[in-house]
Structure 1
Amino acid sequence: MTGPKALLDQDGVRLTVDEAVATITLTNPAKRNAQSPALWRALAEAGRLLPGSVRVTVLRGEGKSFSAGLDRQAFTPEGFEGEPSFIDLARGSDADLDAEIARYQEAFTWWRRSDIVSIAAVQGHAIGAGFQLALACDLRVCADDAQFAMRETSLGLVPDLCGTQPLVQLVGYARALEICATGRFVHAAEAETIGLANVVVPAAELSAAVEDLTAALLAAPRDAVIETKALLRGAAGRTYDDQRAAERAAQGRRLRDLAGVGE
């Protein structure tokens, strides 16, 4: 057997692939894995580089924190070297500002595609952009020291990295509004109670819990998982009868495949 293969290691992001499992690691623990446009580009590139053999993608952060959110350097007049500062972006046209935010969002949009199941392994702080990155994944396994907070509103901003919809889907509108508008911390025990965390374990057991969940996800036939995920992802946007029809069509495809009957 071959070991994990490194496909990317740049700008605070490392991607390794071991057969059906990809691991994406945030690699700047000295800054609590603070995020930047360069990191977002690397995350988007990691999604593009995933081989077709990958079924489960695990996202983790090195060190004591998953991600403490956006690097505060973004709010300085200088911004990041080689990048337009947020102040410069704000002074540009509406179209340019919209396009730049859309590019940032690309780092957060691919985690829920139907051909993979993504797991965020969260320890310590997951704040702002870090919270939204955890929300980008299908599932969240949390250490008992995990702390989530959506601090954008406290800074006069809004959560704009694709986190608002999954947060509402997970915890409901009223609780999502309260969490975002107050910017308060949601600790691991509460996260599990309200459905934000799938499971909470002692910090020393986080890696083992992720490995157990990964193994369970890989136990089922891939195409059955893909079809089931697509059904569940689309359910909220369908009527009851449309969902029934989608279930029938998906099951028909599965039965034909199992019976070796072509379309």
Structure 2
Amino acid sequence: MANQNILSEIRDNVLYVTINREHKLNALNKDTLTELAEAIELAANNDEVRGVLLTGAGEKAFVAGADISEFSNYSIEEGEELARAGHKNVFDAIESCPKPVIAAINGFALGGGLELAMACHIRIASDNAKLGLPEVSLGLIPGYGGTQRLTQLVGKGKAIEMITTADMITAAQAEKIGLVNYTVPQAELIAKAEEILNKIKLRAPLAVASAIKSINASLQYDVDGFETEIKEFGKCFDTLDFKEGTTAFLEKRKPVFIGK
């Protein structure tokens, strides 16, 4: 069945995913999260896909938050399950995706929208973007990893300030504190994301996946990141891409990687 809430297509080995609820400022409802989960699973398992570019429809919003109308009457148990399912199926799945996922943040990235962007591996913001986690103004806290990923990205003090004040910050401020990698004019947003992906596409896909896995391990309390790196480093030696990369280096030519 065709997606109703996102647009997705593969072009030049990149899976373009656009959250397509512009009339709702691309707010995340259950169906949208389900479709996002399917898109990320496709990216992870499709050899044609070398990277993902995730954005929102229109110029006003990347994702302005979660669709509050869906959970305003939830119980404790329902609230926990909402967060747990979102973590597993979407946000953690994006972070663990072996293909790099770049968020192109056009306009508002608030609440679940900023959490979605933070789950991505790289973030680029248009200069009109506004970012924040306003959940405490609704009597909630971020439930899709926001308290954890924001702290990892900007540090404890700034994370507590942003979350407890519920204030929005500008794209320029977000870049200054390390929340986004780059701030660019809106007209250049997608091109900047494509520029980075085009560089990554020239590298060995299995090595890129190993790098993502090892970097993620550095932030997992129950995993030895150094041991993960050692094992992933060793695995690279059993790939055709390693043979190609070293041979090309010695022959002073550009490598051609096949992801095997």
Pair in the same fold by TM > 0.5: yes
Distance 1:17 1:180, change over 3 A: same
For residues 244 and 155 of structure 1, what CA distance do their matches in structure 2 show?
Answer: 40
For residues 38 and 244 of structure 1, what CA distance do their matches in structure 2 show?
Answer: 38
The answer for the alignment partner of 1:175 in structure 2 is 158
Are 2:59 and 1:86 equivalent residues in the alignment? no
**Amino acid across the alignment from 2:96:** R
1:52 to 46, 55, 65: 46
User: Unaligned 5+ residue runs, structure 2?
Assistant: 245-260
For residues 221 and 236 of structure 1, what CA distance do their matches in structure 2 show?
Answer: 24
For residues 79 and 174 of structure 2, what CA distance do their matches in structure 1 show?
Answer: 33
How far the C-alpha of 1:96 sits from its partner, in A, is 4.5
How far the C-alpha of 1:215 sits from its partner, in A, is 0.3
1:254 to 218, 232, 236: 236
| CA deviation vs aligned residue, 1:51-105 (integer Å, no higher than 9, x gap) | 4222211111111211111234x1xxxx5xxxxx531x22xxx545433432333
Q: Which moved more, 1:59-68 or 1:15-24?
A: 15-24
For residues 48 and 253 of structure 1, what CA distance do their matches in structure 2 show?
Answer: 23
The answer for the alignment partner of 1:67 in structure 2 is 63
Aligned residues: 238
For residues 221 and 147 of structure 2, what CA distance do their matches in structure 1 show?
Answer: 20
The answer for the alignment partner of 1:99 in structure 2 is 81
1:24 to 17, 20, 25: 17
1:137 to 120, 126, 131: 120
C-alpha contact (below 8 Å) 2:215/2:225 kept by paired residues:
no
**Amino acid across the alignment from 2:215:** L
The answer for the alignment partner of 1:112 in structure 2 is 95
The answer for the alignment partner of 1:220 in structure 2 is 203
| CA deviation vs aligned residue, 1:143-171 (integer Å, no higher than 9, x gap) | 11111011101111010012222111100
How far the C-alpha of 1:235 sits from its partner, in A, is 1.6
State the SS of the aligned residue for 2:96. coil
How far the C-alpha of 1:247 sits from its partner, in A, is 3.2
Are 2:35 and 1:38 equivalent residues in the alignment? no
For residues 180 and 18 of structure 1, what CA distance do their matches in structure 2 show?
Answer: 37
C-alpha contact (below 8 Å) 2:40/2:97 kept by paired residues:
no
C-alpha contact (below 8 Å) 1:8/1:16 kept by paired residues:
no
TM-score (norm 2): 0.83
C-alpha contact (below 8 Å) 1:128/1:149 kept by paired residues:
yes
**Amino acid across the alignment from 2:51:** V
Distance 1:34 1:96, change over 3 A: closer
For residues 115 and 206 of structure 1, what CA distance do their matches in structure 2 show?
Answer: 23
For residues 213 and 129 of structure 2, what CA distance do their matches in structure 1 show?
Answer: 29
C-alpha contact (below 8 Å) 1:37/1:104 kept by paired residues:
no
User: Unaligned 5+ residue runs, structure 1?
Assistant: 1-6, 80-84
State the SS of the aligned residue for 1:126. strand
For residues 38 and 113 of structure 1, what CA distance do their matches in structure 2 show?
Answer: 21
Distance 1:259 1:210, change over 3 A: closer
C-alpha contact (below 8 Å) 2:217/2:228 kept by paired residues:
no
For residues 122 and 133 of structure 1, what CA distance do their matches in structure 2 show?
Answer: 10
> What fraction of aligned residue pairs are identical, expressed as a percent?
30
How far the C-alpha of 1:253 sits from its partner, in A, is 2.0
Distance 1:102 1:203, change over 3 A: same
Distance 1:170 1:101, change over 3 A: closer
Are 2:10 and 1:9 equivalent residues in the alignment? no
For residues 59 and 163 of structure 1, what CA distance do their matches in structure 2 show?
Answer: 18
**Amino acid across the alignment from 1:15:** S
